[in-house]
Chains A and B, each alone.
Chain A
């Protein structure tokens, strides 16, 4: 795909020359620095906190504790899950003061905040705070937290169960299972991961007493979402919250939320009358950034004698950690519910979700946010069923794909799929991956002493429909008459400055360098959705096109006036308004410059629209080689065939797939969050213990696309940010399992670390030896 667009993104120049501006680069005059004392107990009552000696430390200005948090009333975090279950019950939301009060519930929870003249002095003073804890029993595993007698985290969350919700038709499913010729059952884990965008969290917050307003510099996924959450947490009116957003060093869902540290900084900034800055260390981040995934999934698939799927049912146990984050519940419940049928026609479906508290860091959305998890369990079921029924995996899929003539396809749970060509994607991917030639590659690997397997996934995901009902885009002309496009989206690496400008420029037929994108600008009265859920191009990007089309019509009368013609006599093409006979013309940008300085500029406009969820899908095929002596897995080949609808910028789309697949590879082979069962301490709390994907984990990806243009939005795009992750978990794991099945191994939970794989191989060998005897 690459040849169609070179990269050279608009944002690159500042980022490759060291001129990017990230949160920790922001400084305000007169600022103080904060450091947080974090709980080193996973579950304990706070008996006492003595801050007196900390205040006497050099440079210390103030120490805040849970009392200050309660006095401010900062303890109710908003939550995106607002629906009730069949019994009418709502999600139980435990309180979370921004500094812990009375009790701590996970290692890393904010207990106190020191404000000092320098960051080093603030950190120094933390040592002088004396906290007496009385330990309580700890539970770090969600299934254990549901057991009778488990330690209870919150008085208002009986049994640690915040919410139980089900969807689908349980009776129909039971009926179908009774008729099934074959049932495949699995219990799999999508283990907890730590998002670790490379930029640590940071914020500088100032308080403007004259306006009773706050100036907030922080990492974000978009101004509207963040403003709403800040307001919900603090009770401060949205128009008193002024966000100054800038470059963001990755996010992956981790930055869509307001955090306790934000609230504490606001309290301090107001109390002290000076801006307060905080930059997280990575070690703090491991403990206190929102984590992702953490779902135990049981799945059952009922199949008839012809290999047709009859029904499926799922049970999700979702570990939310010690408190609810704004996004975690919706991402673990609503998102997977939309795609319980996968890419298959499964007439009867039922899914049950339980949302559970444990003494661990709170969990939020993480790239895919529930979509990779549901796709993983479905694809594992299909893979397992194919093995059990001795049907080729591609063939079993073909028998069950939702056919082309069935769209729009209303799934038995929550989704309505737009048109897709699953078989087309599969066929293209199989050919590109040389699926038929695999036995020879397996034999060659065996000669080298390696176990080689091939795995495929055919997955689909619903992109975010958007919490805010509309996306708005403004086009404005600045004092020099230059075209600026405003959106409330915010790139964290997705390249909006390039792509959105390209959409506007292509629509207008002008050079993209004549269009400048401004994201999440304070004071612009625009509504819309933040950047998350693979949504921005589909939502804001589409409205960019609508806005550009509107601009042409808005400019036409002015062009006609300039050309001394009637508007109907003026045609527009390639940036020029031209008279019918071609004798007279004026460029759109020249016209804009003519009116430069007018207030407001007569060509300024706002466009809006509601853009529903789209359904990107694809087929990924992985080949994995396992060294049986060490258990090391290597990705030997990877082929992707994606349908993300219309591609605006191929380089950027490929980059999203690369990054998504690598993140999947991280979860599949390396990333392992480990809490000590007894103490609740995080054992995998640094990059020295937590294996992030490194150069070479994914050597290369054979990229293909098979677009079915979306009809839901004017671009025809389907979103791509999460596709790589959604597809790769199952393609990689089933490839590894395919390598291991000859040894009698049919299940290994992620992450497939070398010791874990090796252990499975030893067990299988022992079992075979026992059988032989």
Chain B
């Protein structure tokens, strides 16, 4: 790991000011991706601005028909929250499938969403649930937020404050974890929302994406077996030595089918 200066932000405003003053700085929430990246020498920030402890960025709240989760809320806190379990049980389940217990005790929802790893779990929920990403500058719809591999709508120094999830009627997530890393080789999140049925896929492609064929197949109502006949076009999916794009396409179909079964159970 190269040298850097550690800065502990005292407030959101302080964090923003520090980020502005240090253009080569990186924001750190849980550090579960950032620190391994630094250890591998893959990034050399001048400063780390630690926002992990900021109270104004943490907490879980259900108000009316939305669930709001502060950006630095840890995966464990989401997974074990009674409020989340009641409001969106699929989100509790998803949070409990991320990484491993030690990672869940440190990693945060805001960090995961801002990093937008193409195999991370949270982006699928954020996208399928039609959530809004609230930053220190504006509100961004999930459909606009995720822009491909590690790319988001966030501007330089913009900080995710919280994620606001409209409560769905029903939702379910199924994931096929990579046997070594635990990241999703394919994860499918199906949500029946006020805006219709939305299906988001993570892990299989270069970034989280909506699976429009599945959404069309489910538009008339969530019926058992509705996804059984679908095939997934493998052309734009990931391929590496672990698995071919055809295998990943198959996983999307199978995980989608299983998510639907779970949702209907």
> Which positions in A face B, CB cutoff 8 Å?
120, 124, 283, 629-631, 670, 672, 674, 683-684, 687-692, 753-755, 758-759, 762
Interface string of B1-35 (1 = CB under 8 A from A): 11100000000000000000000000000000000
Inter-subunit contact B40/A670 (CB<8 Å): no
Enumerate chain B residues within 8 angstroms of A120, measured Cβ to Cβ.
1
Interface string of B193-216 (1 = CB under 8 A from A): 000000000000000000000000
Inter-subunit contact A755/B244 (CB<8 Å): yes
Interface residues of B in 142-188 (CB under 8 A from A): 176, 179-181
Q: A124-B2, A674-B241, A755-B247 are in contact. Are A630 and B181 (CB under 8 A)?
A: no
Q: How far is the CA of A688 from the CA of B37 in the complex (A)?
A: 13
In the complex, residue of chain B having the shortest beta-carbon distance to the beta carbon of A669: B179
Inter-subunit contact B244/A754 (CB<8 Å): no
Inter-subunit contact B179/A689 (CB<8 Å): no
Inter-subunit contact B179/A670 (CB<8 Å): yes
Enumerate chain B residues within 8 angstroms of A689, measured Cβ to Cβ.
180-181, 242
Inter-subunit contact B243/A630 (CB<8 Å): no
Q: How far is the CA of A557 from the CA of B1 in the complex (A)?
A: 66
In the complex, residue of chain A having the shortest beta-carbon distance to the beta carbon of B253: A629
Interface residue from B40, B179, B240, B251 paired with A691 (Cβ < 8 Å): B179
The B interface, classified by DSSP as helix, strand, loop or mixed, is: loop
Flag whether B254 is at the interface (Cβ < 8 A): yes
Inter-subunit contact B242/A755 (CB<8 Å): yes
Inter-subunit contact B179/A759 (CB<8 Å): no
- For the complex formed, measure the closest distance between the CB of B87 and the CB atoms of chain A, giving whole angstroms: 30
Enumerate chain B residues within 8 angstroms of A674, measured Cβ to Cβ.
241
- For the complex formed, measure the closest distance between the CB of B99 and the CB atoms of chain A, giving whole angstroms: 11
Q: How far is the CA of A672 from the CA of B242 in the complex (A)?
A: 9
Count chain A CB atoms within 10 A of each CB in B1, B181, B244, B247 and give the residue with the most. B247
Inter-subunit contact B242/A692 (CB<8 Å): no
Q: A758-B247, A759-B244 are in contact. Are A630 and B180 (CB under 8 A)?
A: no
Q: How far is the CA of A684 from the CA of B40 in the complex (A)?
A: 15
Enumerate chain A residues within 8 angstroms of B180, measured Cβ to Cβ.
670, 687-692
Inter-subunit contact B2/A753 (CB<8 Å): no
In the complex, residue of chain B having the shortest beta-carbon distance to the beta carbon of A684: B241
Enumerate chain A residues within 8 angstroms of B181, measured Cβ to Cβ.
688-689
Flag whether B250 is at the interface (Cβ < 8 A): yes
Inter-subunit contact A754/B179 (CB<8 Å): yes
Enumerate chain A residues within 8 angstroms of B250, measured Cβ to Cβ.
629-630, 758
In the complex, residue of chain B having the shortest beta-carbon distance to the beta carbon of A123: B1
Q: How far is the CA of A629 from the CA of B176 in the complex (A)?
A: 12
Enumerate chain B residues within 8 angstroms of A758, measured Cβ to Cβ.
247, 250
Enumerate chain B residues within 8 angstroms of A683, measured Cβ to Cβ.
240-241
Interface residue from B242, B243, B246, B254 paired with A629 (Cβ < 8 Å): B254
Inter-subunit contact B40/A753 (CB<8 Å): no
Q: How far is the CA of A672 from the CA of B240 in the complex (A)?
A: 13
Q: How far is the CA of A691 from the CA of B40 in the complex (A)?
A: 19
Interface residue from B3, B244, B246, B251 paired with A630 (Cβ < 8 Å): B251
- For the complex formed, measure the closest distance between the CB of B254 and the CB atoms of chain A, giving whole angstroms: 5
Count chain A CB atoms within 10 A of each CB in B40, B179, B241 and give the residue with the most. B179
Enumerate chain A residues within 8 angstroms of B1, measured Cβ to Cβ.
120
Q: How far is the CA of A277 from the CA of B2 in the complex (A)?
A: 20
Enumerate chain B residues within 8 angstroms of A762, measured Cβ to Cβ.
246
- For the complex formed, measure the closest distance between the CB of A762 and the CB atoms of chain B, giving whole angstroms: 8
Interface residue from B176, B242, B251 paired with A753 (Cβ < 8 Å): B242
- For the complex formed, measure the closest distance between the CB of A732 and the CB atoms of chain B, giving whole angstroms: 16
Enumerate chain A residues within 8 angstroms of B243, measured Cβ to Cβ.
753-755
The A interface, classified by DSSP as helix, strand, loop or mixed, is: loop
Which 7 A/B pairs are nearest by Cβ-Cβ distance? A755-B243, A691-B179, A691-B180, A688-B181, A755-B247, A674-B241, A629-B254
Inter-subunit contact B179/A630 (CB<8 Å): no
- For the complex formed, measure the closest distance between the CB of B156 and the CB atoms of chain A, giving whole angstroms: 27
Q: How far is the CA of A674 from the CA of B246 in the complex (A)?
A: 20
In the complex, residue of chain B having the shortest beta-carbon distance to the beta carbon of A671: B180
Enumerate chain A residues within 8 angstroms of B247, measured Cβ to Cβ.
631, 754-755, 758-759
Enumerate chain B residues within 8 angstroms of A124, measured Cβ to Cβ.
2-3
Q: A283-B40, A688-B181, A689-B181 are in contact. Are A630 and B176 (CB under 8 A)?
A: yes
Enumerate chain A residues within 8 angstroms of B2, measured Cβ to Cβ.
124
- For the complex formed, measure the closest distance between the CB of B151 and the CB atoms of chain A, giving whole angstroms: 21
Enumerate chain B residues within 8 angstroms of A755, measured Cβ to Cβ.
242-244, 247
- For the complex formed, measure the closest distance between the CB of B204 and the CB atoms of chain A, giving whole angstroms: 12
Enumerate chain B residues within 8 angstroms of A759, measured Cβ to Cβ.
244, 246-247
Enumerate chain B residues within 8 angstroms of A630, measured Cβ to Cβ.
176, 250-251, 254
Enumerate chain A residues within 8 angstroms of B176, measured Cβ to Cβ.
630
Q: How far is the CA of A758 from the CA of B251 in the complex (A)?
A: 10
Interface residues of B in 83-141 (CB under 8 A from A): none
- For the complex formed, measure the closest distance between the CB of A123 and the CB atoms of chain B, giving whole angstroms: 8
- For the complex formed, measure the closest distance between the CB of B228 and the CB atoms of chain A, giving whole angstroms: 11
Q: List 22 A-B contacts (CB under 8 A).
A: A124-B2, A283-B40, A629-B250, A629-B254, A630-B251, A630-B254, A670-B180, A683-B241, A684-B241, A687-B180, A689-B181, A690-B180, A691-B179, A753-B242, A753-B243, A754-B247, A755-B243, A755-B247, A759-B244, A759-B246, A759-B247, A762-B246
Q: How far is the CA of A582 from the CA of B108 in the complex (A)?
A: 76
- For the complex formed, measure the closest distance between the CB of B184 and the CB atoms of chain A, giving whole angstroms: 13
- For the complex formed, measure the closest distance between the CB of A490 and the CB atoms of chain B, giving whole angstroms: 31
Q: How far is the CA of A480 from the CA of B3 in the complex (A)?
A: 53
In the complex, residue of chain B having the shortest beta-carbon distance to the beta carbon of A686: B180
Interface residues of B in 246-265 (CB under 8 A from A): 246-247, 250-251, 254
Q: How far is the CA of A687 from the CA of B2 in the complex (A)?
A: 22
Q: How far is the CA of A692 from the CA of B181 in the complex (A)?
A: 10
Enumerate chain B residues within 8 angstroms of A690, measured Cβ to Cβ.
180
- For the complex formed, measure the closest distance between the CB of A407 and the CB atoms of chain B, giving whole angstroms: 43
- For the complex formed, measure the closest distance between the CB of B261 and the CB atoms of chain A, giving whole angstroms: 12
In the complex, residue of chain A having the shortest beta-carbon distance to the beta carbon of B257: A629
A sample of 6 more A-B contacts (CB under 8 A), given A630-B250, A688-B180, is A120-B1, A683-B241, A689-B180, A753-B242, A755-B242, A758-B250
Q: How far is the CA of A692 from the CA of B178 in the complex (A)?
A: 12
In the complex, residue of chain A having the shortest beta-carbon distance to the beta carbon of B250: A758
- For the complex formed, measure the closest distance between the CB of B264 and the CB atoms of chain A, giving whole angstroms: 17
Enumerate chain A residues within 8 angstroms of B254, measured Cβ to Cβ.
629-630
Inter-subunit contact A753/B244 (CB<8 Å): no
- For the complex formed, measure the closest distance between the CB of B218 and the CB atoms of chain A, giving whole angstroms: 20
Count chain B CB atoms within 10 A of each CB in A688, A755, A762 and give the residue with the most. A755
Q: How far is the CA of A630 from the CA of B179 in the complex (A)?
A: 13
Q: How far is the CA of A120 from the CA of B240 in the complex (A)?
A: 33
Interface residues of B in 226-247 (CB under 8 A from A): 240-244, 246-247
In the complex, residue of chain B having the shortest beta-carbon distance to the beta carbon of A126: B41
Enumerate chain B residues within 8 angstroms of A684, measured Cβ to Cβ.
241
- For the complex formed, measure the closest distance between the CB of B257 and the CB atoms of chain A, giving whole angstroms: 8
Enumerate chain A residues within 8 angstroms of B240, measured Cβ to Cβ.
683
In the complex, residue of chain B having the shortest beta-carbon distance to the beta carbon of A692: B180
- For the complex formed, measure the closest distance between the CB of B247 and the CB atoms of chain A, giving whole angstroms: 4
- For the complex formed, measure the closest distance between the CB of B183 and the CB atoms of chain A, giving whole angstroms: 8
Q: How far is the CA of A753 from the CA of B241 in the complex (A)?
A: 11
Interface residues of B in 32-75 (CB under 8 A from A): 40
In the complex, residue of chain B having the shortest beta-carbon distance to the beta carbon of A697: B179
Q: How far is the CA of A5 from the CA of B192 in the complex (A)?
A: 58
In the complex, residue of chain B having the shortest beta-carbon distance to the beta carbon of A629: B254
Interface residue from A283, A629, A753 paired with B179 (Cβ < 8 Å): A753
- For the complex formed, measure the closest distance between the CB of B237 and the CB atoms of chain A, giving whole angstroms: 13
In the complex, residue of chain A having the shortest beta-carbon distance to the beta carbon of B41: A127
Q: How far is the CA of A689 from the CA of B180 in the complex (A)?
A: 6
Q: How far is the CA of A670 from the CA of B178 in the complex (A)?
A: 11
Q: How far is the CA of A754 from the CA of B254 in the complex (A)?
A: 13
Q: How far is the CA of A692 from the CA of B40 in the complex (A)?
A: 20
Q: How far is the CA of A124 from the CA of B3 in the complex (A)?
A: 9
- For the complex formed, measure the closest distance between the CB of A754 and the CB atoms of chain B, giving whole angstroms: 7
Enumerate chain B residues within 8 angstroms of A753, measured Cβ to Cβ.
179, 242-243
- For the complex formed, measure the closest distance between the CB of B102 and the CB atoms of chain A, giving whole angstroms: 14
Enumerate chain A residues within 8 angstroms of B241, measured Cβ to Cβ.
672, 674, 683-684
Enumerate chain A residues within 8 angstroms of B179, measured Cβ to Cβ.
670, 691, 753-754
In the complex, residue of chain B having the shortest beta-carbon distance to the beta carbon of A690: B180
